[in-house]
Structure 1
Amino acid sequence: MNLKSKIILAALLISGSVCQSQTKTTVIQEGVSLSIKGEKVGTWVGQDVFHYTLDNGTMQVEMTNFGGVISRIYTPDKEGKLENVVLALETIPDYFTKNGPHLGAAIGRYANRIGSASFKLDGDTFHITKNNGENTLHGGTKDFGQKVWKPEIYKTDHAIGVKMYYLSVDGEEGFPGNLETTLWMELSSTNELKLRFESITDKKTVVNLTNHSYFNLSGITGDVRDHELQIFADAITPGGPGQIPTGEIKAIAGTPFDFQTPKNLGAQLDALGEGFDHNYVTKRENSSELKKIAIVKHPDSGRVMEVYSTAPGVQLYTSNHMKDFAGADGKFYQPHWALCLEPEAWPDSPNKPSFPSTTLAPGEKYVHEIVYEFGVEK
């Protein structure tokens, strides 16, 4: 580490954080490969918003404390060409008002759907915001992906990252309890993008947090029908009206939902006759096991992404409702131009006692870890 890097690192270790009123670019340099830059790019509801670039010498990840958004992921193909592999908006301020699809956002308090926008806890009924017909989707109209999180740059021996904090106050979107959430997002020296959510509450509540990135390993040159997908799950929780689960756990062997062995996504879309927006059962009960849940490959570029999670499910969504959506680099995103793999609890769990519980009580800690590991298959 050179003298300049030592001085910058020492100053950050003393301060322990990046001040939100910062206006200059800050750089941490670890050795010759791991670096992180942060710069203020705007304000939202009186709070400073920063853009961060994490670089490990092989790939780059861009993110912001607005909404805990992962805004870009640049990773090499088999020829070494670096391209962005997630759908994005042009600038960070664009996310303030144009991110209806939740591109790259942290989702909470409850990812996916809650039926009839209500649930019961200890005999009390809580009515939450309706924003998906009669139901609640992704936590309501002002979800975690639209909040400014308090950020702090950090480093470890083998990774750089941003730690973010958000307090969701009692009654926000109708949910009970003051929910304190910390989100760590880091890039490792071995091309792993690691996310860790931790939450505590002062009243019994429900919580289900995830990231909503839209992946296209081609470098976003077209749709994802040419991608190969494997999901390590043998069942789904089928939906009824409004895509609210019926409560059934349905085996998928031999059906268009079956990705237990690698399948061409386009062929499965054709067999299904519609887009995917379904919860896959990766565990039958809650546990802290970090489990490999999916592998995505793009044969032409050679890019590979493996997904790990501690959650009991993963929502496969194939960007069904995108049409002429103005994205970054002058591209207009269309249906099936990306796939989302949203590791999370099962939809409508608060209303399904047979599903793994999403209840969090005072004195307990909610923890969800997600890892996206990137590589190349030549």
Structure 2
Amino acid sequence: MSKLKLTEEVWGRSPAGRDVRRFTLVSPTVQVAVMSYGGVITSVRTPDRRGEWDEITLGYDEAAPYFDRTTASFFGALIGRYGNRIAGGRFSLGAQAYRLPLNGGPNTLHGGPRGFDQHDWDARAEATDDALSVTLTRRSPDGEEGFPGALDVSVTYRLDADGTLDLLYRAVTDRPTVVNLTNHTYWNLRGDRDVLDHVLELPAARFVPVRADMIPTGDLTGVAGTPLDFRTPQPVGARIGGDHEQLRLAGGYDHTFVLEGEPDAGGLRRAAHLSEPGLGRTLEVWTSEPGVQFYSGNFLTGQPGRGARPYPRRWGLCLETQHYPDSPNQPQFPSTRLDPGEAYRSHTRYRFGIAPD
């Protein structure tokens, strides 16, 4: 008899008047909830070393707060068409120039003012003895938020019996466009304090430095001798206030780390390992993407979350697997261009565990 369980419920009404459906995927070691609006991961629960289950993400008790980006801060959101920033909201494909609406100061951030996280998605759930999955699909029309081409997108959230969570992204287009999809879950493996004592390892010898407007300089810089060196495990807060230009510009960590080396047989590289020493929960991230954006929750403002608990600065951190920011304007970076006849594919894997005493 399978130890997996999948439930579905109507969790509210979207701004467009559609039912928001929430799917809960349950394994013996992990519980994950995903909603159809915005492709949001609304909850992840795991046990600690005492066997007590608790929430390890930031989010809300109902659907409605996710409809307001000004307070939701992309909690758990599916990000597209383009995760991270595009400088000045401009890019070109060949001789054709495109203008995007600005929503991140002088730049376009996370797909624009109404990105993928602010839309209803069609949802289909499936359960087998070995895995549970929810697949969300949507057509982003030509010109949405200024991006060219109609884009047909699917994202599958799959939870295996061993508690591994896979996110599988796919997209095709009818015109040349750019695509960079990711997930913006905020992790807090303890939940009753900030994440500064979490211990993080990033197997990256280089990172993407940014200017004051958070756009990449175009360089890939070595982490050696800097507070951005997480090649050996380091507490998140140990050097976050250090006198380093990149920390001052970002208000902490908000940088893409370059993932190199040979992938495994499934095409994935190890992107991050996060642990909380008190209760022992761990999170490991693997991805097919060339980078992982480590964001230390610098701009959380104390907005209320689940149970009206406030989320102050650095109450959560993000590990966003993605291509580098502003890649459409940085030809030396891995390309995010997608042409008709091609398929965009991206795969990120989350493994949850418990460290020994």
Structure 2 residue identity aligned to 1:135 = N
Looking at structure 2, the residues matched to 296 and 335 of structure 1 have their Cα atoms a distance apart, in angstroms, of 19
Of residues 202, 211, 215 in structure 1, which corresponds to 2:187?
215
* Greater Rg by CA: 1
Q: Distance in 2 between matches of 1:116 and 1:352?
A: 13
One-letter amino acid of the counterpart of residue 80, structure 2: G
Q: How does 1:4-15 map to 2 (within 5 A)?
A: none
**Aligned position for 1:42:** 12
Counterpart Cα distance in 1 of 2:261 and 2:110: 22
Q: More helix by proportion, 1 or 2? A: 1
**How much does 1:285 deviate?**
11
TM-score of the pair, normalised by structure 1: 0.89
| Superimposed CA distance per residue, residues 346-377 of structure 1 (whole angstroms, 9 cap, x where no aligned partner) | 00000000000000000000001111110001
Match of 1:361 in 2: 339
Name the residue aligned to 1:310.
288
Deviation at 1:284, TM superposition (A): 8.5
Separation (CA, whole Å) in 1 of partners of 2:179 and 2:2 = 40
Asked if 1:337 corresponds to 2:308, the answer is no
- Alpha-carbon displacement from aligned partner over 1:69-100 (angstroms, at most 9, x marks no partner): 00110100001110000001121222123554
Does structure 1 retain, via aligned residues, the 8 Å contact 2:11–2:62? no
For the 8 Å contact 2:205–2:231, the answer to whether it is kept is yes
Residue of structure 1 equivalent to 2:152: 180
- Spell out, residue by residue over 1:297-335, the C-alpha distance to the aligned partner (whole angstroms, 9 max, x if none): 001111010001100011110110112211112210011
Q: Which whole-Å deviations, capped at 9, do the CAs of 1:179-216 have from their partners, x for residues lacking one?
A: 00000002111111110110000000000000000000
Equivalent runs, 1:203-242 vs 2, <5 Å:
203-218=175-190, 220-242=191-213
Q: Secondary structure at the match of 1:90?
A: coil
What CA distance in whole angstroms lies between the structure 1 residues aligned with 2:315 and 2:148? 37
The one-letter amino acid of 1:82's match is W
Helix, strand or coil for the counterpart of 1:267?
coil
SS of the residue corresponding to residue 238 of structure 2 reads helix
Task: Kindly state the Cα deviation for residue 134 of structure 1 after the two structures are TM-superposed.
Answer: 1.6
Q: Secondary structure at the match of 2:313?
A: coil
Contact 2:6 2:127 in 1 (8 A): no
Unaligned runs of 5+ in 2: none
Secondary structure at 2:88's aligned position in 1? helix
CA RMSD in angstroms comes to: 1.7
Give deviations 1:123-169, integer Å, cap 9, x for gaps. Answer: 11000111112210000000101111100001344210101101110
Q: TM-score of the superposition, structure 2-length normalised?
A: 0.94
CA contact (8 A) 2:4 2:129 kept: no
* Counterpart code for 1:241: A
Which residue does the alignment assign to 1:76? 47
- Paired residue secondary structure (1:110): coil
Picking from 273, 279, 287, the partner of 2:256 is 279
* Amino acid across the alignment from 2:73: P
Distance, in Å, in 2 between the alignment partners of 1:51 and 1:332 is: 24
Distance 1:156 1:131 in 2: 42
**Contact 2:149–2:175 (CA under 8 A) maintained in structure 1:** yes
- 1:55 aligns with 26
Counterpart in the other structure of 2:3? 33
Residues 35-184 of structure 1 mapped to structure 2, 5 A cutoff: 35-44=5-14, 45-97=16-68, 99-184=71-156
How far the C-alpha of 1:60 sits from its partner, in A, is 0.9
Q: CA deviation at 1:67?
A: 0.4
1:193 to 165, 170, 173: 165
Aligned match of 1:16: none
How many pairs are equivalent?
347
Instruction: Say if 2:2 and 2:130, in contact at 8 Å, map to a contact too.
Output: no
Q: Secondary structure of the residue that 1:346 maps to in structure 2?
A: coil
In structure 1, C-alpha distance between the alignment counterparts of 2:261 and 2:146, rounded to whole Å: 29
